[in-house]
Amino acid sequence: MKAFFEELYHYNWLVNGKINEAVLSGYTRLPVRTIAVTAHIQLVHLSWNNRMHGIDTIVDLWKEVNKDDLSKLNDNNLKVTLEILNTVGLEDTFSYKNSQGKEFTNTYKDVLFHLINHGSYHRGQINASLREAGFEPVITEYIFYKR
């Protein structure tokens, strides 16, 4: 199962990189919201990586990110997530606080799946925005990655 998650995170890294490239290529012609959602994917991933490491720092999930930092965030998120995968049991649990300070406990497996799902959801929004602005959407479906 860990190998499958590693593969999912390599896929996630690859398609996030392609989304980043597409958004940067149309940076001046895309709605600000599209750029914000692109950064949001990375900031949420960073926030969950912190939580899985026991770091209680609250990340502003909608803060403005310098466009040149999107790629660095994507690279670092992959690196940290792979480190986490190699040091925890997927069924192990960890506790964390949400942005309102409420405490929760989840398995690593559930959070790792949530992050993949979260990115897919927002990449769909970004692709819709790219199409509306006259750009070609990015192929992000997992099966295309597997071919």
Which pLDDT belongs to residue 74? 98
Domain count, the chain: 1
Asked whether residue 52 is assigned to any structural domain, the reply reads yes
Domain around 38: 2-107+134-146
Q: What is the mean pLDDT of residues 60-82?
A: 96
For residue range 83-136, list pLDDT tens digits in order.
999 999 999 999 999 888 899 999 999 999 999 999 999 999 999 999 999 999
Length of the chain: 147
Asked whether residue 125 is assigned to any structural domain, the reply reads no
Which pLDDT belongs to residue 59? 83
Asked whether residue 121 is assigned to any structural domain, the reply reads no
Taking a C-beta distance cutoff of 8 angstroms, is the pair 44, 61 a contact? Answer: yes
For residue range 31-63, list pLDDT tens digits in order.
999 999 999 999 999 999 999 999 987 789 999
Nearest by Cα to 138 from 146, 128, 77: 128
Which pLDDT belongs to residue 58? 76
Which pLDDT belongs to residue 56? 83
Which pLDDT belongs to residue 71? 96
Asked whether residue 23 is assigned to any structural domain, the reply reads yes
d(CA 137, CA 128): 7
Predicted model pTM: 0.96
